[in-house]
Chain A
Amino acid sequence: MSEQTLRQWLLSDEPTSRRQARLSAWYQGWLAFRSNTLAMLGLLILVFLILCALFAPLLATHDPFTQDLAMRLQPPGESGYLLGSDSLGRDIYSRLLYGARISLYIVLLVAMVAPLLGLVIGTVAGYAGGWLDVVLMRITDIFLAFPRLILALAFVAALGAGIENAVLAISLTAWPPYARIARAETLTYRNAEFIHAIKLQGAGPIRIITRHIWPLCLSSLVIRVTLDMAGIILTAAGLGFLGLGAQPPSPEWGAMISEGRKYILDHWWVATIPGLAIFAISLAFNLLGDGLRDVMDPKGGTQ
């Protein structure tokens, strides 16, 4: 009974509070999202990975750092190694679980830093116009002109190897597309009549940008970020593979592939299994992003 009334409350035509109105909008988005099977698959994979990362200590069968050289390069399923062991006799399954933490940590940090930077630069450029727009957008163009991994490599080389620096380097290379999107969205809104109306109410540029333009840019940014997550993970894995991301013995997936590279012909699982994990998380983010776009795209007309 309570579920039925909750549903009615959420779908009410006349929300009685702002909270209810907002929850109702979210719920309607969720209903649309739920009908997209592939997006739900992506979400499930992602939830599964997040749970794995959260409960890694409970799920792991071995310590991810303990070496056992006598049991090195065991194939999957043998001697209690669910997914085999690597060249130092560490359990790949346990390392994979702890590696999920690192990947999600990187993704989360980049997803917080890069879009924020892009949002600020893009909306200011778009709203201010004139020479500020020209200067900010040319800087954006310069950043866009570099291949992403190479630029990240340069930053890491300058800052020193490590996860935090990898995050910083990836963020510094990932913001330009967000700035472009935010600027484009701002340009469509800056001459909208509701912005004129708000100006007449005495709002200054800062309030217009932060209170009115940012919320409107958010949905397209969220979609873009979700679709970019796969790229962020791949860049992070690439940096790890090149030895510039997480440092050994940390179980970062890219670094694990890098270690397995030497044995790829005789002991395929060492490189393949972390590769599959990267594939799964990238695919999940792409599916999720596509689904979110269908729900949130302002051009879709649902909201």
Chain B
Amino acid sequence: MTIAEGAKFVAAAYAIILAVLVIYYFMSARRVNTLKRDVELLEQEVQRRQPAAGESGD
């Protein structure tokens, strides 16, 4: 196998590694933001319902 042919495989391997890791990194970053927003919204909702229920919240 020549160097040129070998290089194609090497490039493919590293490309896959890079792609998977980068995609996972951004997916988890996005998940953090989405969840943080959800927590904020839900906490506001809990606050809102507290006085109406007349008991201290969780």
Answer yes or no: are A and B bound together in one complex. Answer: no
Instruction: Give chain A's interface residues, CB within 8 Å of chain B.
Output: none
Instruction: Give chain B's interface residues, CB within 8 Å of chain A.
Output: none
